[in-house]
Amino acid sequence: MAEEEVKFRVHIDGIPVEVAPGTTILNAARQIGGDIVPPAMCYYSKLEGSGGKCRTCLVKVSKGSEKDPRPMPKLVASCRTTVMDGMEVENITSPDVVSARKAVVEMLLINHPLDCPICDQAGECKLQDLGYEHGEEQARYEFSRRTFEPIDIGDKIQLHMNRCILCYRCVYVANQLTDQREHGILYRGDHSEISTYIENALDTDFIGNVIDVCPVGALTDKTFRFKNRVWFTKPVDAHRDCPKCSGKVTLWYKGADVLRVTGRKDVFGEVEEFICDTCRFDRKKTSDWQLETPTPVEKQSVIGANHYYDFNPPAVIMEDKKLQTANKEQLARTEKLK
């Protein structure tokens, strides 16, 4: 007889969920879904060792467990803290968490420039979302910001260090998906920056994934730069037989042209399967792919602007339009009689 699987019962913002031992608070919240899921700028479930850098996922543990119900004295990073049986967690219901998240966002924006109008990440940027939800109207920082010149770290990738929030995701990608890592964090403290070693170029088979995992516009696709805005494009899922990767991608169309190719992302903005650079940069024709279906887009996302899968307007709106049309026709007839 198989042993019964042990489950821990946890309450997050009053909502119960049963998860396996060793599950982090963040992943427990993701099983529930919705607004109670803490934001994550550095954690990436596909990258081992990620998390604990940006502190945007801070939550309040108001009850440690059934055995030890004492609350944790400080806010904890939900991406690094595992659940205990009987644990009670507060996220959006805690004023302390909301206040701390505002402070974290303010810190992330200390050196980040306000260049969303020209940034290719606009419309897909998690920092934009955080700034809208938790940002202050005016920054208190009075000192000069760090500034860097954009540099090419490969023939297809450009680095804007001004925008970087040091989430380390691109470093983990290079460590875990490529044969050798040629970039990383240089210096320490507020002098830290992402850069390549001795100005090496990043040209390994899977290095293009640093573009997909970057939560801001620090690493951008040079083949897509300034070509279009994501809300003017139409994403379509497609696949091909690739000897290097799964070949499952999202094609971003403008008319009949494929402007860029990215990995498919889940509801949390994480790539489902990493793709090779051949699929990403060298296959920009529809004939290279087998098209599947339009990529599902959340209603809240600007990417879904003007992309209607089903148009079923409420009857009230249709009746109002009919009334407006009738009024216009009546006005036209009256003008003719005059």
- The CATH number assigned to the domain holding 71 equals 3.10.20.740
- 319: Cβ contacts below 8 Å, ≥ 6 apart: none
Within a domain: residue 317?
yes
Mean pLDDT, range 92-108, rounded to an integer: 93
Within a domain: residue 2?
no
> Is there a single domain that holds both residue 125 and residue 210?
yes
133-151 per-position pLDDT tens digit: 888 877 788 888 888 988 8
Q: So what's the pLDDT on residue 111?
A: 86
Domain final residue pick, 223, 239, 267: 223
The tokens describing 41, both together, are 């700028």
Question: How many CB atoms sit inside 10 A of residue 137's CB?
Answer: 4
Within a domain: residue 291?
yes
Domain final residue pick, 75, 108, 141: 108
> Is there a single domain that holds both residue 133 and residue 99?
no
255-306 per-position pLDDT tens digit: 889 999 999 999 888 999 999 999 999 999 999 999 998 888 887 788 876 5
Within a domain: residue 270?
yes
> Is there a single domain that holds both residue 231 and residue 330?
yes
- Residue 237: pLDDT band with limits 50, 70, 90: very high
Q: Check whether 72 has a pLDDT greater than 90.
A: yes
Q: Which residue has the higher pLDDT, 158 or 305?
A: 158
Q: So what's the pLDDT on residue 83?
A: 95
> Is there a single domain that holds both residue 99 and residue 119?
no
200-218 per-position pLDDT tens digit: 667 788 999 999 999 999 9
In 95-211, beta strands by DSSP E: 151-152, 157-159, 183-186, 193-196
Q: So what's the pLDDT on residue 263?
A: 94
Q: So what's the pLDDT on residue 333?
A: 67
What percentage of the chain's residues is helix, strand, coil (to nearest 5)?
Answer: 30, 20, 55
Mean pLDDT, range 62-85, rounded to an integer: 94
Q: Please indicate, yes or no, whether the overall pTM of this predicted structure exceeds 0.85.
A: no
Q: So what's the pLDDT on residue 74?
A: 95
Total domains in the chain come to 3
> Is there a single domain that holds both residue 197 and residue 234?
no
Question: How many CB atoms sit inside 10 A of residue 22's CB?
Answer: 9
Question: How many CB atoms sit inside 10 A of residue 302's CB?
Answer: 14
Mean pLDDT of the chain: 86
Query: What proportion of the chain, given as a percentage, has pLDDT over 90?
Result: 55
35-46 per-position pLDDT tens digit: 899 999 999 999
Minimum mean pLDDT among 58-72, 81-95, 187-201, 237-251: which range? 187-201
The tokens describing 66, both together, are 């059934």
How many Cα atoms sit within 13 Å of 139 on the Cβ side? 17
Mean pLDDT, range 311-333, rounded to an integer: 53
216-227 per-position pLDDT tens digit: 999 999 999 989
> Is there a single domain that holds both residue 231 and residue 335?
yes
Within a domain: residue 1?
no
Mean pLDDT, range 63-68, rounded to an integer: 92
Q: So what's the pLDDT on residue 100?
A: 94
Domain final residue pick, 165, 197, 223: 223
Report yes or no: 149 and 142 within 8 Å, Cβ to Cβ: no
User: Which residues form the domain of 74?
Assistant: 8-108
